[in-house]
């Protein structure tokens, strides 16, 4: 496991493969991350203890959608949505990243078949 110190606390990578990452976050009271987005990956926050505010920024309207998560609650953030988190009290949570593969992601020029039929 790889633990990285952050100004808001620390993050420990629990799992990683080609499509998924899981991190354990230990966030100090009043800690927050930068406002950012992910171009290709989804983001899920699952709170273990404490409280976590997740803020989504609606760029067209200038509106901020604020959700406060308590232990046992989770929230997904889709790609291309600007967001950040804030901890109004000490918080531990899981942060999961994944990419969604489209099972019908194929553009055919023609169709397969059997020769001679």
Residue 16 to residue 99: CA distance in whole angstroms: 12
Q: What is the pLDDT of residue 116?
A: 82
Bridge partners, residue 75, by sequence: 45
The pLDDT confidence band at residue 3, using thresholds 50, 70 and 90, is: very high
From residue 117, give the alpha-carbon distance in Å to each of 108, 112, 113, 114.
20, 12, 8, 6
45-101 per-position pLDDT tens digit: 999 999 999 999 987 788 999 999 999 999 999 999 999 999 999 999 999 999 987
Task: Note the pTM of the prediction, 2 decimals.
Answer: 0.84
């Amino acid at each position: 496991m790889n633990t990285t110190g952050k100004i808001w606390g620390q993050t420990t990578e629990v799992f990683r493969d080609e499509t998924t990452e899981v991190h354990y976050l230990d966030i100090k009271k009043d800690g927050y991350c930068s406002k950012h987005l992910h171009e290709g990956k989804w983001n899920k926050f699952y709170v273990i203890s404490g409280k976590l505010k997740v803020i989504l920024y609606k760029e067209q309207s200038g509106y901020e959608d604020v959700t406060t998560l308590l232990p046992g609650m989770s929230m997904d953030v889709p790609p291309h949505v600007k967001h950040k988190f804030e901890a109004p009290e000490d918080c531990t949570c899981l942060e999961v990243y994944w990419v969604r593969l489209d099972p019908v992601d194929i553009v055919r020029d023609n169709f397969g078949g059997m020769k001679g039929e």
